[in-house]
Amino acid sequence: MCIRSSDILLTAIAPAIWGSTYLVTTEFLPAGYPVTVAMLRALPAGLLLLVVRQMPTGVWLARSFVLGALNFSFFQTMLFVSAYRLPGGVAATVGAIQPLIVIVLSRIVLGSPARALSVVAGVAGMAGVALLVLTPKAALDPVGVAAGLAGAISMAFGTVLSRHWTPPVSPLTFTAWQLAAGGLLLVPVAFLLEPSLPSLTEANILGFIYLGLIGTAFTYLLWFRGLSRLEPSQVSPLGFLSPVVAILIGWTVLDQQLTAVQVLGIATVFASVWMSQYAQATHRAASAPSLRV
């Protein structure tokens, strides 16, 4: 297997694990504390990864807080606002526009070409997510839709800037900086907007440990490692795997029904991910210098 293929597979592990977040949140965590939960996901994970003992200085201190806000603080807050005000299917479908935004931003910020097949893959991915999670009773709430779009734009900017601002440190250190900064920004928000957490049960503690260590520290390390090696427009569509895994977990663990429409949605998502990777591979092959015999 070539190095680039292994990079894609390793990066894909992150959104696959993120697909378990819904199960862990609903089954293991206390309800009604979205900002606090987001803060407790990011800050402890960032502090744990900071065992590298290399703190950001100069311009990288400011960039760490900008990226921490885009990738964690603002994104997570908008994600929860959208989830609370919209049916889950609508929220997921609105957020699925992110790969298309990444294509546009990559063109503007990085100068990457906007390939037609990548755009088709992004649209197909949105359609696949819609087939997976939308129901006939899905209703639109303007504030919820606006929050979903704002979260998608925030994460798209964070994805592109994470590649544009190539850090002088390892992906481990870069991930720690962003997680710690994002978590710190959420501390005053959680303190002002939400009550104190109730006494935590063993299940709550296990849920927080899983989200912090596996669902955040480990996954974002893989995600930012991928961004350091792959194009943002190649990494972002991998996020479509998250709702697929969430649906499959609900089917296998929670005994939820898996319909024919959802199976079609899963197939469409996988097709869109393949198209996005094929578009990049085709471009690399066309750009590679030909060998003269």
Give, as one character, the DSSP assignment of residue 50: G
Q: Say what percent of the chain tops pLDDT 70.
A: 88
Tens of pLDDT, residues 138-159: 566 788 788 888 988 999 999 9
Give, as one character, the DSSP assignment of residue 291: P
Q: What is the pLDDT of residue 210?
A: 92
Tens of pLDDT, residues 273-292: 898 888 877 766 666 554 44
Token output for 253: 């663990």
Does pLDDT of 248 surpass 80? yes
Q: What is the pLDDT of residue 1?
A: 44
Residues 6+ apart with CB under 8 A from 25: 37, 207, 211
13 falls in which pLDDT band (50, 70, 90)? very high
Residues 6+ apart with CB under 8 A from 284: none
63 falls in which pLDDT band (50, 70, 90)? very high
Q: Are 216 and 179 in contact (CB under 8 A)?
A: yes
| Tally of CA atoms within 13 A in the half-sphere of 243 that contains its CB | 29
For residue 145, give the 3-state DSSP assignment.
Answer: helix
Q: Output phi, psi for 170, to 5 deg.
A: -75, 160
Q: What is the pTM of this model?
A: 0.83
- Report in angstroms the alpha-carbon separations of 253 from 5, 27, 206, 293: 30, 11, 17, 58
Q: Say what percent of the chain tops pLDDT 90.
A: 19
Q: What is the pLDDT of residue 161?
A: 93
C-alpha 282/C-alpha 293 separation (Å) is 23
The residue with greater pLDDT, 256 or 159, is: 159
DSSP string, 55-104: ---THHHHHHHHHHIIIIIHHHHHHHHHHHHS-HHHHHHHHTTHHHHHHH
Does pLDDT of 196 surpass 60? yes
Helix (H) or strand (E) holding 180: helix 171-193
